[in-house]
Structure 1
Amino acid sequence: MSHSGGREPTVSLSLLDATMVGIGAMIGAGIFVLTGLAVDISGPAAIVAFALNGGVTTFTALSYAELAAAIPRNGGGYAYVREVFSAPVAFVMGWTRWFTYMIAGSLYALGFASNFVEFGHIYGYALPGPPVLYALGAVVTLVALNALSTEASGRGETAITLLKIAILGVFVAFGLTAADAGEFDPLFTEGALSVLPAMGLTFIAFQGYDLIATVTEEVENPQVNIPRAILLSVAVTVVVYLFVVFVAIGTLGADGLAGAGETAIAQAAEGFMPTFPIVGTGAALIAFGAVFSTISALNAVVIGSSRVAFAMGRERQLPARLGRFHHRYGTPLVAILASAVVMLVAVLVVPIRIVGNLASLFSLLGFIIVNYALIRLRRRQPNLQRPFEVPLYPVTPVLGIVCNVLLGLFIDWFTWVLAIGWLVVGGGVYLLLSRRDDVGPAGPPEIQDPEPIEPAEGADD
């Protein structure tokens, strides 16, 4: 493996911190911003779309868990693909994962802005300026925090994520007493096949556990804690999503949710939640939770996108400056700033529905490659140390590939055109940078067993 000069990553994140990075990214704009849009597509069957997406993403999460334990390096899916594929394939993977996280960042920033404005309206305040200004401000603020300290951004992610889980727990607790199961009869009001495009739109809500793998070298005992964090984050998120969507549809109804759009969950809360001290109405509490949820999701993708750029810079597939940690702050400063630029541009020019579809499509493509990387690594290195192994191999990664391909086919053609356009841009960048002295794709790196890391006390063998 090639490594550029500069400070090495600092181990500063615990198992809880790593798990919260995944949950923080998944329980964010997806549940607050996309629920109403999904119901608009598939009616009450939106809950089926969320459930099926949970199953689909679990296949790939298991693949990530095995690869992360076997290859404990920053960069997530890019790092794994770099081990088993040629340099051009690895570049495509890194290029698309980097873009996915950055475009997802714009989705979360826009979701934050709409919920922040709604939060002001609940208290009778008309906030000055267009919502996009608040989205831009959120990106700039979190970029600054991440540039100064990984530990501070990780600890902040943990605190905010625990808070929003508690708020959604209150929403579910009150909502279960008010939800009407009759709102789901009939379930497929828009036809059974309408579930598939709804899955394509909301799949971005299940992207996030993969961000855990991008900070592997900054997590304590990564060969044990990274697989645990990935699987814990998926399990918690799927359970929370299903309860929240059930309550939202069961109280506000499919038509009401579809009309509410990006603030659907907050509007659903108005009908059944009581008034709370200090915060006020239930809608205010949910709007408050939505603000923090989208902020934590944005923070998570700022972390993840910069680590992919860092890994590509360290592997000399992007400028070497991206692959260095700042000597003073101990963060990949240049990679963070480069990621921020794309997020800011996307916030300004890309509509939120297109952002959601584009991020979902690139996630699906990336997950297909990661599942195949697991199969290829098993064949090429059967004796590689694997502290965690995917159950029911090879059925699990094959199902992951098949399901992700099927979902990708139901994403609209315009999104595919944009995706192909970004790949063409990436091809041009690859050819241009490969001619520079500080950038150059090497051949496939020699695959070696990672140095053994002692499991934590009490951990399973």
Structure 2
Amino acid sequence: MSHSGGREPSVSLSLLDATMVGIGAMIGAGIFVLTGLAVDISGPAALVAFALNGGVTTFTALSYAELASAIPRNGGGYAYVREVFSAPVAFVMGWTRWFTYMIAGSLYALGFASNFLEWGHIYGITLPGQPVLYALGAVVALVALNGLSTEASGRGETAITLVKIAILAVFVIFGLTATRVNEFDPLFTKGPLSLLPAMGLTFIAFQGYDLIATVTEEVENPQVNIPRAILLSVLVTVVVYLFVVFVAIGTLGAEELAGAGETAIAQAAEGFMPSFPIIGTGASLIAFGAVFSTISALNAVVIGSSRVAFAMGRERQLPARLGRFHHRYGTPLVAIMASAVVMLIAVVVVPIRIVGNLASLFSLLGFIIVNYALIRLRRRQPDLQRPFEVPFYPATPILGIVCNALLGLFIDPFTWILAIGWLLFGGAVYLVLSRRGDIGPTAAPEIQEPEPIQTTDTDD
């Protein structure tokens, strides 16, 4: 059994906090900037593409929920793969998930900066400095918050996410009164096959629930609350997305929405939303929501990326100092700092569009492995206690594997070449660290069976 050293993780996150981590990561800038682009690809059927992506997401989310209930450890997908696969396979999984979260962090930071500056322009305010400076500032601020207190970062995530849900709810409530159902007739103006590229484009907006599993040991009653948080976050996100897309198409129309591109939701809001005290027009409210969405998504990936690095350090697949909680703050401070360094570098020098595609591809590959890990764990440890079990097994994880693989086919060949290059680089890092003695073989921690639930006899 491996040991993390230092103090134990602080159990400070509630079911609500854990759920908000997932929703905060999923409802990022994607719904604001991708809706118009998806409508441009598939017309009104973009609503169907979002619904199908919700179904594809649910297959893998169910696998995450069962694995989290059976393996209650920080690290998410990496921890599950570490349990059922060899050390090199687990390293590849952790290496790619860590990279994916860190790159997503740089994307969200830059998204926050552009939305924040645009929000200022709406009020006629030209803020000084370049967007990259605001992106760097956001990363530094959230890293400091996460380094000092898991509870503070979790509570902050909850507050920010509730605000942006409220903003989207206002958009939907006003929009439903102005929605024209005939805008969806005909539905498949660009053919049923146009759904697939639209799904490939918008799938990134459904990623983030997996971050919940990275903080398992810091959540109250994790074997019950982590599965609940995963499934609740997916359900809430899918419902919000479908209402927002339905209103956007039904009010602005598919043709105008497609022409609006990345500002589609804001333009739709201008058409039917009233002005609000202090905030101003509907467009300004949506811009405000986009600022909150990107900052909450950034905070979520700061939390998640550091926990993957922590789990790999605890397993001696990265230097052991990453796998320790700070003796005073009770946070994986070194892992947080290591993740922050990569995010900061990516904000400044990485070609974001290319690496964004790379992050999407690694997510799809990671989800395939997690679904297979569920099948393998069922076979290897059939008697392991699982407070939550995937319904319709094995059809559900198999569908998760197939659907994620199909979406991966729509990733361009150049991104696949980059992915192979990053994996080879990871292999070289693994060999160098092994030879230097910075990492080494270790047994995965034993899975702790959950304590039986105490019941009170009320029959007498």
TM range (shorter): over 0.9
Are 1:223 and 1:453, in contact at CA under 8 Å, matched by a contact in 2? no
User: 1:396-407 maps to which residues of 2 (within 5 A)?
Assistant: 396-407=396-407
Structure 2: distance between partners of 1:201 and 1:354: 13
- The equivalent of 1:289 in structure 2 is 289
- The equivalent of 1:201 in structure 2 is 201
- The equivalent of 2:86 in structure 1 is 86
Larger CA deviation: 353-362 vs 121-130: 353-362
Equivalent residue in structure 1 for 2:450, among 452, 456, 460: 452
Are 1:197 and 1:411, in contact at CA under 8 Å, matched by a contact in 2? no
Structure 2: distance between partners of 1:24 and 1:257: 25
Matched, 1:16 2:16: yes
Amino acid at match of 1:256: E
- The equivalent of 1:376 in structure 2 is 376
Are 2:66 and 2:389, in contact at CA under 8 Å, matched by a contact in 1? yes
Structure 1: distance between partners of 2:355 and 2:266: 22
Structure 2: distance between partners of 1:48 and 1:213: 28
Amino acid at match of 2:393: Y
The Cα of 1:434 is off from its aligned counterpart by 1.2
- Aligned CA distance change for structure 1 residues 410 and 225 (closer, same or farther; 3 Å): same
Larger CA deviation: 319-328 vs 213-222: 319-328
Q: Deviations over 1:40-76 (max 9, x none)?
A: 3333322222111100010011100100000000000
Are 1:200 and 1:357, in contact at CA under 8 Å, matched by a contact in 2? no
The Cα of 1:173 is off from its aligned counterpart by 0.5
- Which secondary structure state, in structure 2, belongs to the residue aligned with residue 386 of structure 1? coil
User: 1:226-237 maps to which residues of 2 (within 5 A)?
Assistant: 226-237=226-237
Structure 2: distance between partners of 1:126 and 1:58: 42
- Which secondary structure state, in structure 2, belongs to the residue aligned with residue 389 of structure 1? coil
- Aligned CA distance change for structure 1 residues 322 and 437 (closer, same or farther; 3 Å): same
- The equivalent of 1:215 in structure 2 is 215
Amino acid at match of 2:450: P
- Aligned CA distance change for structure 1 residues 438 and 3 (closer, same or farther; 3 Å): farther
**Taking every aligned residue pair, what percent have the same amino acid on both sides?**
88
- The equivalent of 1:35 in structure 2 is 35
The Cα of 1:293 is off from its aligned counterpart by 1.0
Q: Deviations over 1:85-120 (max 9, x none)?
A: 000100011011111111111221122122112211
- Aligned CA distance change for structure 1 residues 144 and 303 (closer, same or farther; 3 Å): same
- Which secondary structure state, in structure 1, belongs to the residue aligned with residue 13 of structure 2? coil
Structure 1: distance between partners of 2:15 and 2:163: 18
Q: Deviations over 1:289-345 (max 9, x none)?
A: 111111111100100000000000000001111111111211111111111122222
| Number of aligned residue pairs | 456
Structure 1: distance between partners of 2:350 and 2:250: 32
The Cα of 1:285 is off from its aligned counterpart by 1.1
- Which secondary structure state, in structure 1, belongs to the residue aligned with residue 96 of structure 2? helix
Structure 2: distance between partners of 1:102 and 1:262: 24
RMSD: 1.8
Are 2:315 and 2:444, in contact at CA under 8 Å, matched by a contact in 1? no
Structure 2: distance between partners of 1:437 and 1:71: 28
- Which secondary structure state, in structure 1, belongs to the residue aligned with residue 132 of structure 2? helix
Larger CA deviation: 103-112 vs 375-384: 103-112
Which ranges of structure 1 fall in alignment gaps of 5 or more residues?
none
Larger CA deviation: 12-21 vs 356-365: 356-365
- Normalising by structure 2, we get a TM-score of 0.95
- The equivalent of 1:427 in structure 2 is 427
- The equivalent of 2:130 in structure 1 is 130
Amino acid at match of 1:326: H
Q: Deviations over 1:339-390 (max 9, x none)?
A: 1122222223345543442222111100100000000000000000111100
Are 1:201 and 1:360, in contact at CA under 8 Å, matched by a contact in 2? no
